[in-house]
Amino acid sequence: MAFEQDPLGAEPVLTVSEVNARVKQRLESDPALKGILVRGEVASWTVLTDRNGNPYAFFTLRDEKSQLSCVIWGYALSRLRIHPQNGEMVCALGSIDVYPPRGIYQLRAEAVIVENRAGMLWQQYELTKRKLEAEGLFAAERRRPLPKYPRRVGVITSLEGAVLHDIVRIARERHAGIPIVVLPASVQGEGAPVSLVAALALANSDAVERAVGVIDVLILARGGGSIEDLWAFNDEAVVRAVAHSRIPVVSAVGHEPDTVLTDFAADDHAPTPSAAAQRVFPSREELCEQLRQLAERVERATRGAIAQRRDTLQRLDARLPLARPESLLVRPRDRLSAAHTRLEQACARALDRRHKTLLGYAARLAQCSPEARLARAREQLARAERAIVQQVAERVAMHRQRLTALAATLDSVSPYAVLQRGYALLRDPHTHAVLTRVAQVSAHQPIEIMLADGALRATITEVMHHDERTE
């Protein structure tokens, strides 16, 4: 096809890169396309990694008529508490930018909020709550009072995190003498409901009671988080296990604003795990103060009763006519005296019981004190030291006896012991070799004779063999 005139005219010719650069500059400088919220359905969510190992994700937002390419880079991706799933409705916050090499525009997301998941969970939360509430599992009359002075406390939580550490720390600060039985369980994720139900069943089992003793109260604890993080404590099986627990349960899940279904089914609810520990473990100082106040009240009541009886006796004595015979006063006075004696005895017994109770608490507190533990440790160390000294002495005596016996044996086979019995040892004075046969010497050869107390030097005058001596 031919043009009669230049179709380009006087207009400049742009390259593809120049066009994409102009589009990029226009779109990215438009305030209306910065910091916008876009709602749509997620599709093609894909997480990748760049050359430096930093993750990023590509995805598409779409509605009934259109779709929009999106990207979220490493830092923003790492801040997402939940990665959206394909098909979920989300709201993405970001700005429009252009990728010139491919000539496409996209939304550079800074945050992605999943809308559907939380809504569905809250709907399920309300349905489960209404169902269990209709069955009476949340009725106030089902809740049992917590023991004021528990002998043993069970804690169901994860071994990871700060929750268990905080509970143990507060327990030691308030009353270190109460044992803690930890029943570990998963508190988040798909397996958390089964793990929590198993831990509750174990805490209520006869096997645990035989192994560690009776658990008087249970703390079901977890730190704060999103509804997804805390969802295990809204599971119907977990809520039923809490409601049917033989042991009173304190639900301490999340922080102040968090509410889960176990809070309604438990016998008590604490806003945080630390608050639950403060509620369950009695304060040692408060107990001592209560005992002191109780002793003072008993003493005041006893003194008041005695003073009241004394006043009554004095009033009765004053009312009696002076002219009345003394015999009329004998029986009332005897009854009053007997009542006074019984009262004093009752007060003494009451004081004795209170005193014994105070001594018992004092003994239990003393057993928990560092001084008592240090004294017991010192006593054990002293016993161990005495045992070690005795064992070392026995070993030294045994080795000394063995050394004496070995010395005696060595002496019995020593050649010098033979010299003591009148024998002599012949040696070559040059080589110091022991001479045992006549063939080793010749006439006029010098020799050395070893005796018990010294040595002699001699010269061989004649060598004789066995046949020559016989002749």
CATH fold label, 120-282: Rossmann fold (3.40.50)
Q: pLDDT band for position 331 (50/70/90)? A: confident
Beta-sheet pairing, 446-451 with 217-222: unpaired
Helices and strands (H and E) in the chain: how many: 14, 13
Position 468 scores a pLDDT of 59
Contacts of 129 by beta carbon, 8 Å cutoff, 6+ apart? 138, 261, 264
The full set of domain ranges for the chain reads: 16-114, 120-282, 285-317+336-368, 419-470
Contacts of 108 by beta carbon, 8 Å cutoff, 6+ apart? 70, 71, 72, 73, 94, 95, 96, 97
Contacts of 113 by beta carbon, 8 Å cutoff, 6+ apart? 90, 91, 92, 93
The tens digit of pLDDT for each residue in 366-425 reads 777 677 778 888 888 888 889 898 998 898 999 899 888 887 787 777 777 777 777 888
C-alpha 252/C-alpha 281 separation (Å) is: 14
C-alpha 92/C-alpha 114 separation (Å) is: 9
Looking up tokens 């593809």, which residue turns up?
16
**108 near 75, Cβ under 8 Å?**
no
The tens digit of pLDDT for each residue in 201-234 reads 999 999 999 999 999 999 999 988 877 888 999 9
Q: pLDDT band for position 61 (50/70/90)? A: very high
Position 323 scores a pLDDT of 45
Contacts of 225 by beta carbon, 8 Å cutoff, 6+ apart? 188, 254, 258
Position 409 scores a pLDDT of 81
Least trusted range by pLDDT, from 87-91, 96-100, 106-110, 151-155: 87-91
Q: Is the pLDDT of residue 320 over 70?
A: no
CA dihedral 29→32→40→55, nearest 10 degrees, is 30
- CATH number of the 16-114 domain: 2.40.50.140
Contacts of 329 by beta carbon, 8 Å cutoff, 6+ apart? 320
- Residue range 148-175: mean pLDDT, rounded: 91
Measure Cα distances from 206 to 202, 210, 212, 266, 455 in Å: 8, 6, 10, 21, 92
Beta-sheet pairing, 217-222 with 180-184: unpaired
Beta-sheet pairing, 180-184 with 153-157: parallel
* pTM of the model as a whole: 0.44
| HSE of 260, CA atoms in CB hemisphere, 13 A | 34
Contacts of 374 by beta carbon, 8 Å cutoff, 6+ apart? none
Six-digit token string for 376: 């017991």
The tens digit of pLDDT for each residue in 251-303 reads 999 877 778 999 999 999 999 999 999 999 988 877 777 788 888 888 888 88
DSSP helix/strand/coil, 87: coil
Cα 50 vs. chain centroid, distance in angstroms?
40
Q: How high is the mean pLDDT of the chain?
A: 85
C-alpha 258/C-alpha 193 separation (Å) is: 18
How far from each other are the two terminal CA atoms of the chain, in whole angstroms? Answer: 156
Q: Judging by beta carbons within 10 Å of its beta carbon (0-12, 13-18, 19+), is residue 108 exposed, middle or buried?
A: middle
